[in-house]
């Protein structure tokens, strides 16, 4: 009985953490979208230049 309760609370903790991460990602996507997009665009450009250079 006790171990079952412990497993449930652990699963609840993991779910909360996962939900928290999803929330953080959504927040980043909503608020940091332009900055994030610029970063991704620059990274992709640098990556493709590196590929062409190599």
Residue 37 has a pLDDT of 78
pLDDT, position 54: 58
Please say whether the beta carbons of 12 and 5 come within 8 A: no
2-31 and 33-53 are packed helices; what angle lies between their axes, rounded to 10 degrees?
A: 80
> Where are the chain's structural domains?
2-53
Give the pLDDT confidence score for residue 41 in this predicted structure: 86
Confidence bin at 6 (pLDDT 50/70/90): confident
Report yes or no: 36 and 28 within 8 Å, Cβ to Cβ.
Answer: yes
Predicted TM-score (pTM) of the model is 0.35
Q: pLDDT tens-digit profile of 12-51?
A: 888 888 888 888 878 777 776 667 777 888 888 989 988 8
């Amino acid at each position: 009985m006790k171990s079952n309760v412990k497993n449930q609370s652990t699963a609840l903790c993991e779910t909360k953490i996962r939900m928290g991460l999803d929330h953080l990602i959504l927040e980043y996507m909503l608020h940091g979208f332009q900055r994030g997009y610029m970063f991704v665009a620059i990274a992709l450009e640098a990556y493709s230049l590196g590929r062409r250079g190599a």
